[in-house]
Homo-oligomer: A and B are copies of this chain.
Amino acid sequence: MDEFELIRRYFARMPSAADVVVGIGDDGAVLRPDPGRDLVTVVDTLVERVHFAADIDAGDLGFRAVAVNLSDIAAMGARPRWMTLALTLREARSAWLERFAAGLEAAARPHDLLLVGGDTTQGELVVVSVQITGDVAQGTALTRSGAKPGDRIFVTGTLGDAAAGLELLSRGQRQVDLVHRFLRPSARVAYGQALVGTASAAIDISDGLYTDLDKLLSASGVGGEIDCDKLPVSAALQSRFDADACLEFALSGGDDYELCFTAGADAPPSAGDLAVTEIGICREKPGLDCRRGGKPYACVDRGYRHFG
């Protein structure tokens, strides 16, 4: 029983109501307290020795805890508004807390995201759980479930950098750009909002492109095909790894926090400096296939799963 099965089996069966527009199973929940504006709420937890090493810089941890949640908000096309923090710590050390709070602020401030509450507890493990509520015009939140056969598949930015950065860190090596992509991910918040009205479905890439796109396609009841030769890969990644390794990082590496989305005939909005790359197409037949050099390419699904 992996985490997705666990959620489906024990928690997704709970009652719902008319004011819950989207419940359990998407990047976030969509709630409708009043007509006109929907709220989007997301929660993501980072656990010591699972999501980060015990010696992580507290500033990076604070930044990351916010960024991974902002990425879910971005995937829903929402504007981030308010954040709560549940923080479990072994001990309260001033220098650590100072850096952690600064990292939290550094991630939140560019988006006018405000910390409005939280709970601080003592425990034998560091656990950081951030919850963000955002808003969006009624009925416009992006979900995973709107893709149709024929829709084109896009990704933002470059893929595989964060996973490569993590691998370099674990080898005791550093390549500044790649490591930074892992430690301080940029959630595509502005572009997520720009996609409202154009994208038919969206998801953020946290567990790896293959795994996350597969979730989007399944939720939409369609299949798809991607061309591996089109996957956007950074010069920094190519400078450190050969083409095969780059492809595996791009397909299976987690922690990129780029957006993957589908769109019909309309061209997706321009994104300033941010690259937006068409990588494939949706089709009726279920499943996700990859092609490389014109031939089928077997991607081993190595996306991260808790309890997997």
Listed in ascending order, the chain A residues whose CB lies under 8 Å from chain B are 1-3, 6-7, 9-11, 14-17, 19-20, 23-24, 28-29, 31, 33-34, 36-37, 39, 41-45, 47-51, 81-82, 84-86, 88-89, 91-92, 94, 97-98, 100-101, 104-105, 108-109, 112, 114-125, 127, 129, 131, 133, 135, 306-307
Contact = CB atoms under 8 A, between A and B. Distances in A.
Contact of A116 (B41, B88, B119): B41
A123 B127 contact: yes
B116 A29 contact: yes
The number of times this chain is found in the oligomer is 2
B82 A121 contact: no
A1 B96 CA distance: 13
Contacts of A36: 34
Nearest to A123: B47
A124 B306 CA distance: 12
Contacts of A34: 33-34, 36-37
Contacts of A91: 307
A115 B11 contact: yes
Q: What are the nearest 9 A-B pairs in CB distance?
A: A29-B116, A47-B123, A86-B129, A29-B117, A122-B306, A92-B307, A125-B125, A10-B101, A45-B86
Contact of A121 (B10, B51, B117): B51
